Amino acid sequence: MTLPPTDMPPVATAAFQELDEDQKLAFVAAYSRRRRSMPLMMAFAILLPIQLFVLDKILLGILFLLTGGGLGVWYVVEWFLTPQRVRDYNTKVASETLVLVKSGHTPALDPGESEEH
């Protein structure tokens, strides 16, 4: 019996339970590769503010860098915004992965790798 990841968003838990065993294994593998770690993203936000780029907020990240982190104010505010951004990102990843797995597609091992038929 495959258990859901411990950090999986609550909205995906019910859908995860409806998957068969092979789909659960595929979901866990794909979600584990694509999700973002909260401690790592917080470290990025505090030490090396690149978390916006890692969370696919590219334009926001560029604006952040161009303004010097909002002259330091935005930099501090990001410490408090990052946890919710990570939860939102992981929820999006879980939803996308569930859709792929339910439709019969096994997510590739790497983003550039394709399935062989």
What tokens were used for 102?
């339910």
Contacts 24+ apart (CB under 8 A), 44-49: 44/82, 45/78, 45/79, 45/82, 46/79, 49/75, 49/78
- Domain map of the chain by residue range? 20-102
pLDDT value of residue 114: 46
Percent of the chain surpassing pLDDT 70: 90
pLDDT value of residue 96: 92
Give the residue-averaged pLDDT of 45-70: 90
| Tens-place pLDDT, residues 2-11 | 777 777 888 8
Q: Which amino acid is at 53?
A: F
Give the residue-averaged pLDDT of 41-49: 90
- Which of the four pLDDT bands, split at 50, 70 and 90, describes residue 55? very high
DSSP sequence for 83-99: HHHHHHHHHHHHHHHHH
